[in-house]
Amino acid sequence: MIRFSIIIPHKNTPDLLQRCLDSIPRREDVLVIVVDDNSDSEKVDFDRFPGLGDSHVEVYLTKDGKGAGYARNVGVTHAKGEWLIFADADDYFFTDNLSKLMDMDIPGEYDVVVWKSKYVYLDGTYYVMGEDASDKESWDIIRCNTTDKLYLNYVTPWAKMVRRKFLMKYGITFDEVKHGNDDMYSNKIGVIANKYAYVNIFVYCHERLSGSLRETVNVESLICRIDVFFQKNLYLKSHGRPLFDIVWILSDICSMSYGKFLCLILKESKLLGIRQSYKDYCSTCGRLGISKIPFLSKIINMNRFKNYLRRKLHSFLGIPQHYKNSISYFRSLGVQIGDNVSIIPPISPVIFSSEPYLVSIGDNTTISFDVVFVTHDAATRVIRNLPDGNRETVVYGTISVGENCFIGCRTTILPNVKIGDNTIIGAGSLVNRDIPSNVIAAGNPCKVICTLDEYREKHKDDFLYMVSLPYEKKKIYLMEKFDIK
């Protein structure tokens, strides 16, 4: 009786495919499905195609040439049994360990089982993909409740096996694109699965071979990988999950390991990721030194490439093309904004959290840069993951900022907070309680420091009256006042 279906997409590498097939134990409970993606007849002898004549292997020859994602989806339609395992034709299994894994009694509470994999680079070096990055092995089943790791750490289809009924129930399939077809597949599994089991043994070896699809660097692959990257993060953002760092896509584009690419970045600047402000990101590409990578410069106009990345991130964050339109844009998101409100750039609509319609800002209020309005409590994930927890548990709250307020830069305002009129919140504050009108408040947690009248009295000798002064005159005046030569 079939329990495991192993699905292998293939194109133009029959010798490596045979190596992969040879690494799979021949068992009565294992069905191997090979789907050829319109291989070149000059590179493949179809009369002697690997797997033909093997009672444990089914071979399907497609003529569509739609890529590995399409081939994997075809394989799923022919799959049988309880578990689905995916492999690349140019990789292989550690036979004995795979067989032992198949003999294990996996509790029914787990829809996903992950294992250790070796990830071998072109130069022969490798890293270990798994909970334990060492070479040590153990046959214990480890329960893992934090499923974010399923898409952050196990981004490939071959690092895990998944219950077939789980994929069927949620309609999880592979994208039929040439590059990154498995990204959304792993994303959705990581978001939907309640938990997963981890077995600390080496089951699979992935090799990055010259000429493979992953090593292909051209305009088509660049654009496709970028599009998939932002599609992944849009999905994760809609589910309130941690996002992928922009370095992942850039390292993939450059066919470097994440570590090697990170070293390159750190030579130029601090790591700037997707969570950084838009202004920081706009200068990222130039500061990374990407245009100095010879083969990239040869295949694509680097300025156009950098501008494309900027536009994609711009769109992803939802930042309007011109700042002058930002207030109307935020209103379109549902933020209740009064008249004569200023929001100082650099900004991103993520500051209004995933429920912008729960935020209101009164007339004549100024919001400085990098202020965050948090309208939900994601810490309820801990409650949801408890044995007696309810998966639907969540907390939401409104945020109200009064009229004629100033919210200092990098302030975070938590749910169920009301800030009164004519109130100043100091920079870097964490506002977790109501703040009354006509006061100055700051700190973590934010507390009232003094009244507005006391603030005015204290600083009356510091006030200057020159808001409308032209820039050059203001510069001259201030340099003279502070004795700057």
- Rounded to whole angstroms, the Cα distance separating 435 from 421 reads 9
Which phi and psi (to 5°) does residue 289 adopt?
75, 25
Q: Residues for the chain: how many in total?
A: 485
User: pLDDT (tens digit, 9 = 90+) per residue, 241-273?
Assistant: 766 655 455 544 444 444 444 444 333 333 333
State which of 4-13, 113-122, 234-243 shows the largest mean pLDDT: 4-13
User: pLDDT (tens digit, 9 = 90+) per residue, 90-139?
Assistant: 999 999 999 999 999 898 889 999 998 888 866 667 777 766 666 677 88
- Rounded to whole angstroms, the Cα distance separating 381 from 147 reads 11
353-359, long-range: CB within 8 Å, 24+ apart, which pairs? 354/237, 354/238, 354/240, 355/396, 356/330, 357/333, 358/396, 358/397, 358/398, 358/399, 358/415, 359/335, 359/398, 359/399, 359/400, 359/401
Single-letter code of the amino acid located at 373: F
Task: Name residues whose C-beta falls within 8 Å of residue 440's C-beta, 6 or more positions apart in sequence.
Answer: 423, 424, 426, 448, 449, 450, 451, 452, 454, 455
Single out the residue of 80, 102, 103, 93 nearest to residue 31, CA to CA: 80
- Rounded to whole angstroms, the Cα distance separating 125 from 131 reads 19
Count of other CB atoms within 10 angstroms of residue 161: 26
Residue 102 half-sphere exposure toward CB, CA atoms < 13 A: 25
- Rounded to whole angstroms, the Cα distance separating 98 from 50 reads 21
End-to-end CA distance of the chain: 86
Domains and CATH numbers, the chain: 4-211 (3.90.550.10), 217-317 (no CATH), 325-456 (2.160.10.10)
pLDDT at 330: 82
pLDDT over threshold 80, residue 312 = no
Task: Report which of residues 303 and 323 the model is more confident about.
Answer: 303
pLDDT at 9: 96
**Percent of the chain topping pLDDT 70:** 73
- Rounded to whole angstroms, the Cα distance separating 25 from 56 reads 10
Task: Report which of residues 70 and 303 the model is more confident about.
Answer: 70
User: pLDDT (tens digit, 9 = 90+) per residue, 169-202?
Assistant: 999 999 988 778 888 898 899 888 878 888 989 9
User: pLDDT (tens digit, 9 = 90+) per residue, 367-412?
Assistant: 998 899 999 998 888 988 888 888 888 899 999 999 999 999 999 9
pLDDT at 408: 94
3-state class of 467 per DSSP? coil
Joined tokens for residue 458: 């204290």
Task: Name residues whose C-beta falls within 8 Å of residue 108's C-beta, 6 or more positions apart in sequence.
Answer: none
- Rounded to whole angstroms, the Cα distance separating 152 from 170 reads 20
Instruction: State the alpha helices, DSSP H only, in 318-469.
Output: 326-333, 380-384, 452-458
pLDDT at 437: 97
Beta bridge partners of 57: 32
Joined tokens for residue 391: 């998966």
pLDDT over threshold 60, residue 359 = yes
- How far CA 158 is from CA of 41, 225, 291, in Å, comes to 27, 19, 33
pLDDT at 158: 87
User: pLDDT (tens digit, 9 = 90+) per residue, 44-98?
Assistant: 999 999 999 999 999 999 998 889 999 999 999 999 999 999 999 999 999 999 9
- Rounded to whole angstroms, the Cα distance separating 474 from 239 reads 48
Q: Whole-number mean pLDDT of the chain? A: 80
pLDDT over threshold 80, residue 212 = no
81 CA to centre of own chain: 32
